[in-house]
Amino acid sequence: MTASAAPHIPVLLDEVIAGLSPKAGEIHVDGTFGAGGYSKAILDTGARVIAFDRDPDAIREGCSLADESGGRLTLVPERFSRMGEALAQRGIDAVDGVTLDIGVSSMQLDRAERGFSFQADGPLDMRMSQEGQSAADFLNGASEERIADVLYHYGEEPKSRRVARAIVAARPIERTGQLAEIVRKALGHHAGMKKDPATRTFQAIRIYLNEELQELEGGLEAAELVLRSGGRLAVVTFHSLEDRVVKRFLRERSGAVPAASRHLPVQANDGPAPSFEAVAKPVRPGEAELRSNPRARSATLRVARRTSASPWSLAYKGMPS
């Protein structure tokens, strides 16, 4: 497998570590191990890291860092929404920090054979776990209406029906370059456009296939369960759909607004006590980072501290409907 020569630079690394404030002897969860940038920085403080990634490539390539850590890095080939179960299996009932870097990793984007990007032609895959339905399977088998719905809801593509119609007419589709050209032709593409019109379609299909928004919701709730009082949650998102989920979760759990989660009833005045409190305002990359790492341009970091209140899922458990 050939990797890009470009370095894999963790986004907002200094700000994430400052927000987490890890210390020697603490236990931290890196929910999105990727190339190991956040995990390595946390390890450098003397803390222990339990790192999750559903991508077998990331786990395999992280073994050298685990070997060098002297037993302080544990790699878990699992979705981060299952961190609670995975930690319990290892005899860990609470952690001091949880880090989530949401979306596709640079490693996945840079490898054409993974099919996440149209920057280089490759098979139309996009599976983070390398299991289950591929992007090609979905596009070649789904109805035009279903494809349009996915493009609209997960890519915020305003002309989703036009794109879906073009995709169905061009089937079978097997390559990333082929899909990109179909979308460009359907939407109109010319040199000098600020954003490639295929971007929203690729984003939508990837998020849908990997259940990324559902995974994010589950991961936030899992973090609430495993963080000890005073523990910190740091989440980096890259587009509005992700950030909206994180912002809503933290506002609800801090008591700033009534509960709007589909999993919970509307919060009454005597509802659960806030389980999180904001540590700082949302952080965006500075000019220096954007020059060295253009992929950071849409990143947003949100950091919150766990209070001593019970997790909301437990506070509501057993309450009458």
Q: What is the DSSP string of 279-314?
A: -S--B---HHHHHH-GGGGG-EEEEEEE-SSPPHHH
User: Over the range 182-195, which residues count as b (16 or more CB within 10 Å of their CB) and which as e?
Assistant: bbbebbeeeeeeee
The CATH classification number of 13-107+212-316 equals 3.40.50.150
Q: Flag whether the pTM goes above 0.75.
A: yes
Least confident of 164-178, 184-198, 237-251: 184-198
Q: Tell me what pLDDT residue 92 has.
A: 97
Q: In the CATH scheme, what is the homologous superfamily, with its name and number, of domain 130-209?
A: Putative methyltransferase TM0872, insert domain (1.10.150.170)
Q: Tell me what pLDDT residue 6 has.
A: 41
**Is 265 within 8 Å of 320 (Cβ atoms)?**
no
Q: Tell me what pLDDT residue 313 has.
A: 80
How many residues can be counted in the chain? 321
Domain chopping of the chain, boundaries:
13-107+212-316, 130-209
Least confident of 102-116, 152-166, 218-232, 266-280: 266-280
Q: Tell me what pLDDT residue 262 has.
A: 54
Peptide bond into 172 cis (omega under 30): yes
